[in-house]
Structure 1
């Protein structure tokens, strides 16, 4: 139900009590005190129902409502005779009015103040006319309204919290399912790609009974390296790069591709431009070792390419020297930083 409709209904119900008080204005001994109570009640109700306020009532407003409730009883009850013949009728409108005001206070999550007002109403009624009046003039009914408001308010707050938790759980489940589907797709894609790459050579191995020529053995090594590229260098590969990497290996170079996530989420057109530049760089170098690595995602550089060639005749490496893993004996033939097209445009 829209909040504006609820506020309108509460305002009409609050005004109804004032109408009842005016209808029985001849019963109190001093109508001016009753009219003053009506003004206080109307003012407190209006302040409590003004639009644009936070859901939880401010403390000062809740305290004001309790003070108005106490003032109403002190203004009206001295003007009424609890032993009046025929009863007081609607002259006790203030009891229902206090119940309404305190129900509004409780609905706006100031339950302690609402119950404090009810306790003061009960005490004042017993002091004024005895416990028998609690039921006859509607004090029990006002307390019941506050109790129902308190229960419903707590239930709605719990339902809202549960709904937020369920929504969060649903989002997490959706994210988990999307991640699982992405992993499944990636796995199936890689398996299909590996099968496509390896199937021709596997048929050759099957037909030859495992007896391969030296050239076929080298092709197996190239194929193994290509499959490894698909795992370690995913975003560094397109058809042009694959072709140039294979050509470099066949001419004796060692090519290593490292995709560390720096190209994830890059615009597809920019991605292709970057990889085309990488393919050109691999084709244009005669280095014996070529290393391509993605830069961090927040860098203006997309890919760094390094080409190294051993100094001298490379005999130390061929003999398995301890310097094999050391780049100090390598000459840098190629050092290329491929920028991101978007970073280049912004500069």
Structure 2
């Protein structure tokens, strides 16, 4: 499998919308069809059977448009098989009927008008992912036109008129192949550009988060730690109890900032602070490699924050190990607290498994609530 094919397989639902601007192509096709329709209408008075000629040209064109343009437009993927097969059969059939309608009596016309009007359907089949049906229809049509040229005119097949007769088939098959290829490569290029932009945006976000965390630690040092350390250095007597308590709180906050790393965000910090205020022992540790599992970090943080807000006592430990599971969360506490934490993490785990593409295992017994998130 080539890299282009691999990228096309990664296109999300609706990825077929990643394509070249279709307006110039549609305008060119509409102009061609309009001119050819006028030529067919102008030739009706000279046809042996005008009604049959009209049905095999303009009527067949409308039927082909309904078959190759309308089905499956609102969903990604190739044209559905039944309309593609019907269009592939209708095209040479309509050309043969037009050859019968143009010539008098039971003869066949060597120059039917239908190919110029109907062959754009071959390009649409190619662009909409049905090259097999397009190739079969084109082969049948070329064989039919050469047979008409040989039997009706009596001239050699290598005469210049043969190239004129086969020209529309060759032109629209080439147009379809080139446009399908251009559309596929454009989808891949746009997917690459979108992936690169998403990666750059994620890097900027992580740089901003690291800068904010650095600023928080610096502010914590300047506002809380430095004045306390100055008070300790200037003290000539044993430290008072409230100073000891403040030193313990500052040390705990600094340790949490240094250990929590990517698991910390405003919601987790608030949950940890409120849980500690209720007497809960909170330990948030991030030992995972830098940049690991970026896409699941937001739901991981939401899961940890939910557990911290729900607990009322005991201990909560959230850890991202360097290897193995993405996250392990353990809560030990009273039965009421464990029930509340279990309910909170269970609701988050269900949404997280659907959105982030990870497996979340939540278990609870009389001793602890354990949550394990794995890839």
- TM-score, reference length from structure 2: 0.55
* Aligned pair partner of 1:61 in 78, 83, 86: 83
1:286-334 CA deviation, whole Å, 9 max, x = no partner? xxxxx6337954447244258xxxxxxxxxxxxxxxxxxxxxxxxxxx9
Q: Does 1:110 align with 2:119?
A: no
Counterparts of 2:70 and 2:30 in 1: how far apart (Å)?
10
On the 8 A contact 2:48/2:102 being kept in 1, the answer is: yes
1:29-68 equivalence runs, <5 A: 29-38=48-57, 39-50=59-70, 53=73, 54=75, 56-68=78-90
Counterparts of 1:335 and 1:232 in 2: how far apart (Å)?
29
Instruction: Name the SS for the 1:265 alignment partner.
Output: helix
Q: Does 1:98 align with 2:118?
A: yes
Counterparts of 2:120 and 2:50 in 1: how far apart (Å)?
22
Counterparts of 1:150 and 1:28 in 2: how far apart (Å)?
34
Counterparts of 1:127 and 1:58 in 2: how far apart (Å)?
31
Q: CA deviation at 1:190?
A: 0.7
Instruction: Name the SS for the 1:40 alignment partner.
Output: helix
On the 8 A contact 1:263/1:297 being kept in 2, the answer is: no
- Runs (5+) with no aligned partner, structure 2: 1-19, 104-108, 150-156, 284-302, 316-333, 345-375
Counterparts of 2:90 and 2:269 in 1: how far apart (Å)?
65
* Aligned pair partner of 1:184 in 193, 211, 227: 211
Counterparts of 2:221 and 2:335 in 1: how far apart (Å)?
31
* Aligned pair partner of 1:25 in 44, 51, 56: 44
- Structure of greater Rg: 1
CA RMSD, 1 decimal:
4.8
Counterparts of 2:129 and 2:53 in 1: how far apart (Å)?
29
* Aligned pair partner of 1:301 in 303, 307, 310: 310
Alignment correspondent of 1:135? 163
- TM-score, reference length from structure 1: 0.59
- Runs (5+) with no aligned partner, structure 1: 82-87, 235-257, 283-290, 307-333
Alignment correspondent of 1:122? 142
On the 8 A contact 2:71/2:80 being kept in 1, the answer is: no
Instruction: Name the SS for the 2:41 alignment partner.
Output: helix
